Structure 1
């Protein structure tokens, strides 16, 4: 009796908390999930600060819970225990038997109810919407409007279980290039989900083609403001909320050159102004214009102007 009352209190408390959060329109993060699904945390990747992906493990007793609108997609891999797993979202319950090796998939931003009949040990893998949308944009080479996945109570997917096991091993053992390794696994996971479970919608055709005048102004301003720094394609694409492939295509159509060539041109123009107006050491000019060193600047001056920076400065001073 005491246990039943305790579970009822947990469920009612979770429901009240969810109602408050749902009322504000907030999406729940992986760190907040235990407020709705109380369990014993057994593993956690948060201290490692993986980007776009979070791994957590839990031991649960039998429960019936309200799962709020989550910020991320969630993949559940069952590690031990066998139970009847049921789900509903505004309709009748759907039930399936789950056991070790079986996978459940929960979409993001959708409220649902889940219940299971016996204790279970699970691994949760949370995947962010931006991470999945970025990979989708690169896979389809189009601007992504949204990526959706349907909730699945039961799926037999050895690829997902193998990826989960690999990420768990990385969490426990670590190794050289850990963040790069996890990023590669995350991208593989995204592609697998896009192939088998996801529905992708694209932006209207009018968003393709050339950059708008406002986008051009934003890009040129960004390059000028960051001319002394390393400017990546991802940063330029992020300024316009495009994927990298769309940026390259539209940039080429608008500027008649790829982004890298444009940035080099702006670096050279900036260097020419500094060489003509100030008696700065060449290495200072190179650093101020974003070249990796003086030799890097010299190579580009020779390639584009057929003179070295010193020769250019001399020619300006004698005019």
Structure 2
């Protein structure tokens, strides 16, 4: 299989005059490049990234073939063409045009899809669309162009918001998504479980609300509680408390740590709160557990 080419390698196959390039901005997962092209007949190897071509100036009949038959359409300013990543293509046009190329990394698009669907993503493919008339998407690409030219306060945050908006718009309207696992009914998916357990581990030192836990996996409190119990075999608050106790056990093996410090590090309100929990769940006190583990 031919190794996918990068945006920097594209001019080898499609010569043109560079008009704009965001490479110096060091944006993660996205790049904008502008070109002026004369009429051409070019075969392009598979691209590493997803490609959106927005037409800025000039009009031309465009002929393109990807995996299927040739398509033909009249490309006008404002038109957009889509090319999925790792997709070989052949383009042919006769008139001079000016375009913007927006490249999106597969990793970034897959992450957005995973966040959007709350499921493991196997593949995201853009549909074979030669011409779309989509003012919203064209406006978002224009936002990247404006930021490339001028930048400004909060540039990185602005680009991240544009990047997410473009990805979600593509996933809603122009993409086919394949999942790694079938949707689980009545249970949390493995992706949701990983997000949830990571969130709990990162926040064991403070009170975590049920609404927070449900929000990490994009569910209502009602559905989250039901799915959590089915998946983990206990209510969420019991799971969190057990994880705090597990951490507390490890910390209690360090005699130099006072009990009140262990209590604070494990999210208990105070030493007496931790003591009550140990008594109720382990039938012993923290001090008794400490004496047991240190002999």
Q: Normalising by the residue count of structure 1, what TM-score does the alignment of the two structures yield? A: 0.65
The reply on whether 1:144 has 2:121 as its aligned counterpart is: yes
Equivalent residues in 2 for 1:225-244, closer than 5 Å: none
Q: CA deviation at 1:135?
A: 2.7
Question: Are 2:167 and 1:190 aligned?
Answer: yes
Report the CA distance between 1:192 and its aligned residue.
1.5
Q: Which runs of 5+ in 2 are unaligned?
A: 205-215, 276-284
Pair 1:302-2:249 in alignment:
no
Question: In the TM superposition, what whole-angstrom CA distance separates every residue of 1:188-212 from its partner, at most 9, and x where no partner exists?
Answer: 1122112221122334427774678
| Deviations, residues 209-248 of structure 1 (Å, cap 9, x unaligned) | 4678xxx99x999x99x999xxxxxxxxxxxxxxx73999
The separation in 2 between residues aligned to 1:59 and 1:255, in whole angstroms, is 61
* Structure 2 Cα separation of the partners of residues 129 and 56 of structure 1: 18
Deviations 1:27-85 (A, max 9, x none): 22223222222222222223323222221111222221111112221111111122221
Deviation at 1:166, TM superposition (A): 1.1
1:201 maps onto 2:168 in alignment? no
- CA 258–313 in structure 1, closer or farther in 2 if over 3 Å, else same: closer
Q: Between Structure 1 and Structure 2, which shows a larger proportion of helix residues? A: 1
State the distance in 1 between where 2:255 and 2:5 align.
Answer: 54
Corresponding residue number in structure 1 for 2:137: 160
Is contact 1:211–1:251 with CA below 8 Å preserved after alignment? no
C-alpha contact (below 8 Å) 1:170/1:178 kept by paired residues? yes
Does the aligned pair in 2 maintain the 1:54–1:126 contact within 8 Å? yes
Unaligned runs of 5+ in 1: 1-21, 229-243, 287-295
Measured after TM superposition, the shift of residue 317 of structure 1 is 7.9
* Pair 1:317–1:109, CA change in 2 (3 A): closer
Counting only pairs closer than 5 Å after superposition, residues 39-58 of structure 1 correspond to structure 2 as: 39-58=16-35
Alpha-carbon separation, structure 2, partners of 1:305 and 1:205: 46
Aligned to 1:133: 110
Instruction: Report the CA distance between 1:314 and its aligned residue.
Output: 7.7
1:173 aligns with 2:150: yes
TM-score normalised by L of structure 2: 0.70
**Match of 1:31, SS?**
coil
SS at match of 2:4: coil
